[in-house]
Structure 1
Amino acid sequence: MTSLFSQLGLSQQRVQCLEKLGFSEPTPIQVQAIPILLEGKDIIGQAQTGTGKTAAFSLPILERIDPKSKAVQALILTPTRELALQVSQSIQSFKANPSIFVLPIYGGQSIDRQITQIRRGAQVLVGTPGRVLDLLNRGVLVLDQLMCFVLDEADEMLNMGFIPDVRLILGRVPETRQTAFFSATMPPEIYRLTKQFLKDPVTVSIKQAQASPLQIRQIAYRVPRLSARAAVLQTVLELEDPDTAIIFVQTRREAADLTNRLQSAGYSVDEYHGDLSQSQRERLLWRFRQKQVRWVVATDIAARGIHVDDLTHVINYDVPDSQESYVHRIGRTGRAGNEGVAITLAHTSERWKMRQIENHVRQEIPVLPTPTRAQIEERRLEKLTGEMREALMGERLASFLPMISSLSEEYDIRAIAAAALQMAFDHYPAITTQLEEELETARPIKNNKVIKVDRPQQVSSTSQR
């Protein structure tokens, strides 16, 4: 395998820029895609998120941009605002030439400001389909000098219903342009799109040796009744006590309802979904990264914009419908060499989905029983003991010693310590009577042995895509 960017055909200026950014070795998708794109060929790149796709298409684009011309020379379509920002920021860091302007265009921001910026000149545009189409229809966005068109996260474009807009945009770009499609999967609709709009494309497919990273501990908790899913989640959060977590749900309504429930119980949590304005999303992301919010309840599509390197937990509120979605979700934890935990809440009716996921990730995922009150209280005491040990080593301890001396004239020193611990313990969110009743009704009359998902005898060929 090529070991250095300089051997892929990139200019010395670009290689030096990458070295300053700390990039020394290209990823497999970069090794295969960059030379093809530098030759001007159309390409279909199939690889999971997090494999370096952005650099794979943006580095060749930057090599071919004419900085003297202010016309739009490259257009990159992304399914979400957050991804448009992320991609544009990456290209900005790679460009090495101050005369090249990269502009993100998406809804939720002033279109007048974006119009002004386009008229001033921007060689690279990164945008969402709706805003790009709006600017085209207004006659502001002119693509007659476009040399490269990139469709990023094509399968997500399909899931979000943007393919009609993509077709309209592709119908407005010059036929002489180079076209690149990048997608984690290749649904039939995307395949038909490639046949219609790409010319003799080269297909590059990167297969991951392990469908899910080894540094992610994958477990599931049993949901005895569907109506008890929220109660089970609350007990799991108590038992696992994630430092940071994304809790994936199916709908915006679920995100709102679950967030309200957890906030009412005293947890540090907020919701993240498509109904939020761009400023609300950016504010929440900032708070999440600053650890002002511990947990975020998010829908799949909105969560495309959440990137936190030290995320400790990913929680699937229910079992995802597709194996690829499962892998994409859990891949948000266990990054940069850190260990992560992926938890799925699984009802008996979802056990077949769990079997398919196990086939796909090629490992067994143990399904544990619903946590009990005794387990939760034991976990709380363990945490409290750890906090006590830290406090005993801290500098603030001395300021409380006079109070202890005063109280010890009346009470036994062990009773004073126990009272302090009780006060600290009582500050945890209460395990309410309502929650206990929900769990008691839901809990099956079985012992607490681990319930394991039956392993299928044979792995189908489709599960190893």
Structure 2
Amino acid sequence: MSEDSWALSVDNQEASTPAMQMDFSKKVDRMRGLRKPPTDLNSNIWLEKDESEDWRGDTDKVNLAEQSLLNKIIRRSLVRNRNQVEVLQRDPTSPLYSVKTFEELRLKPELLNGVYSMGFNRPSRIQENALPMMLAQPPQNLIAQSQSGTGKTAAFSLAVLSHVNPANKWTQCLCIAPTYELALQIGQVIEQMGKFCPDVKLSYAIRGNRMQRGVKVQEQIVIGTPGTVLDWCTKLKAIDPKKITMFVLDEADVMIGTQGHRDQSIRIHRQLSQDCQMLLFSATFEDSVWSFAEQVVPDPNIIRLKREEETLDTIKQFYVLCKDKEDKFVALCNLYGSLTVAQAMIFCRTRKMAAWLSAHLSVEGHQVALLSGEMTVEQRATVIERFREGKEKVLVTTNVCSRGIDVEQVSLVVNFDMPVDMDGNADNETYLHRIGRTGRFGRRGFAVNMVDSKHSMDIIHQIEMHFNRRITILDTNNLEEMDEKLG
């Protein structure tokens, strides 16, 4: 599409009917009045037109470790995951076992009590397949893909607690995580699940927990970050790596994205005995994660999620042609007025744009929450909890909220800015995660993309090609069309 035909298509869309044109003109006039910021808006938020960000702008970067920690904090119970799992066994001739109850695992009574005390009534989908492999004798190695909230941490915690011999006062199970906070989260799960196992002890190899050189760790389970764990094994000789019989590497995708952690993890792995059981978990399985996993987990069983694209079946996808951010705002107001929206999530590329949009939505009388990367994890968790409880109906956010937040009442997702990668191409994975916040649990949802340039139209075409699905144009100034398409 040429620039001329782009402008023509926008103009044609706006000139639907005289009545619509008149109503649109009034709204545009009102929006043009916003060229001078209203008195109740912070003038620092206002962007003059020549300051508007394009796709090369200062995007709000996602910190994977913070995102994982946020998901662990806000998910107090298992999410209902519709994904099917794909199991690739190390020995294809071996029978494939899965379990539907925890009793089938023949756990020690004190461990079964710990599982039930945590509110687990039956295994989640990942647990059904992973637990028999993790508890098998002789031990089997495992690489598993599992998102936060699917019971993955509880699964390997159960395996760790089942594995240790309380009579042996040395480290037998070693678990590493990419950050101090994530290590503490894992430890809390193990402590809670093992509360009926008083003879099983846990130690944290994290910053601030100092060990004296030559003093051996007597706790059977050690959880820590790669740098501190490596020090405990090599410099301080507090752990004998050859006595470790189970090694768990959690959040592998976060781990390899953190400076130095990949090499430290490999150095720890090289000190372990060849018959040590290896368990590796990752939310994503990109090529870099696979390469890393192959280095540390020999002859693995593999459990991975099938592609999540079936979630698109319950989501109607549209795009709206706009001229600028004010035009987008008008379209958003029209859209919100035409839909019966329980709750909505609106994604912006930058913190500045998110702040501008949330301020203007508030002026329009919407209950708006703002979520962006400068907030602490705890502050973000509080905002998300308020949104879940329905205290705000609209959540304006950057990419920090694109993954893993399940709110059943979300019926509308708006890409105020289209998601792009560093090269300006469509970020298909982020798009999927964004619009996947609606249409959840079998409910119908709507995803609306704001298109304000030839470049963002190209992004729409790339997304259509990638997912092999058509995204329909929507005229938000034509009430009859919106009723027909959104009905």
Report the counterpart of residue 343 of structure 1 in structure 2: 447
Cα shift at 1:163:
5.5
The 5 Å alignment of 1:112-131 reads 123=221, 125=223
Give runs of aligned pairs for residues 269-288 of structure 1, distance below 5 A: 269-288=368-387
Aligned to 2:143: 44
Question: Once the 2 structures are TM-superposed, how far is the Cα of residue 309 of structure 1 from its aligned partner?
Answer: 5.0
Matched, 1:168 2:264: yes
Does residue 1:328 correspond to 2:424, yes or no? no
CA–CA distance in structure 2, aligned partners of residues 338 and 104 of structure 1: 41
**What pairs with 1:225-374 in structure 2 (closer than 5 Å)?**
225=323, 227=325, 228-240=327-339, 242-301=341-400, 304=403, 306-320=405-419, 321-335=426-440, 337=441, 339=443, 341-347=445-451, 349-351=455-457, 353-355=459-461, 357-358=463-464, 363-369=469-475, 371-372=476-477
Distance verdict in 2 for CA 1:48–1:252, change over 3 Å = same
**Is the 2:338–2:483 contact (alpha carbons within 8 Å) kept by the matching residues of 1?**
no
1:198 paired residue number: 297
One-letter amino acid matched to 1:175: L
Provide, for residues 206-264 of structure 1, a one-character-per-residue CA deviation record: whole Å limited to 9, x for no partner: 325863165x4332231333544455444434444643333333344443443344334
Query: Cα 1:194–1:136, aligned 2, differ >3 Å: closer, same or farther?
Result: closer
1:2 aligns with 2:107: no
Q: 1:97 to 1:134 in 2, by over 3 A?
A: same
Identical columns (%):
26
**SS of equivalent residue, structure 1 residue 192:** helix
State the SS of the aligned residue for 1:204. Answer: strand
Aligned length in residues: 363
Deviates more, 1:283-292 or 1:296-305: 296-305
Match of 1:218 among 312, 316, 335: 316
Displacement, 1:60?
A: 1.8
Question: Within 1, Cα distance between the matches of 2:414 and 2:116?
Answer: 36
How far apart are residue 11 of structure 1 and its match?
1.0
State whether residues 218 and 343 of structure 1, in contact with CA within 8 Å, keep that contact through their aligned partners in structure 2: yes
TM-score, length basis structure 2: 0.58
Secondary structure at the aligned position of 1:211 is classed as: helix
**Counterpart contact for 1:316–1:345, Cα < 8 Å:** yes
Match of 1:187 in 2: 286
Distance 1:233 1:36, change over 3 A: same
Q: CA deviation at 1:166?
A: 3.5
Q: Name structure 1 gaps, 5 residues minimum.
A: 379-446, 452-465
Secondary structure (helix, strand or coil) at the match of 1:181 reads strand
Which whole-Å CA distance do the structure 1 matches of 2:149 and 2:466 have between them?
A: 18
C-alpha contact 1:248 1:299 (8 A) present in aligned 2: yes
Cα displacement (A) at 1:190 = 1.8
Aligned residue identity for 1:205: R
Q: Measure the CA separation in 1 of the matches of 2:184 and 2:316.
A: 31
**Inter-partner Cα distance in structure 1 for 2:353 and 2:240:** 44
- Alignment-derived partner of residue 413 in structure 1: none
Summarize deviations over 1:62-88 as a string: whole Å, max 9, x none.
32245575858342425795x777766
For 1:391, the equivalent position in structure 2 comes to none
CA distance in 2, matches of 1:268, 1:283: 16
Which residue number corresponds to residue 35 of structure 1?
Answer: 132
Q: Is the 8 A contact 1:212 1:331 kept in 2?
A: yes
Contact 1:221 1:344 in 2 (8 A): yes
Structure 2 residue runs of 5 or longer lacking an equivalent are 1-96, 212-216, 420-425
What's the Cα RMSD here? 4.6
Q: Which residue of 1 aligns with 2:70?
A: none
Measure the CA separation in 1 of the matches of 2:239 and 2:395.
Answer: 39
Per-residue Cα deviation, 1:150-204 (whole angstroms, up to 9, x for no partner): 444444555xx42632332442464235433333443232222123322233333
1:45 is displaced (CA, Å) by 1.8
Distance 2:330 2:400 in 1: 25
Aligned match for 1:62, one of 141, 153, 161? 161
Larger RCO (CA within 8 A; separation ≥ 6) = 2
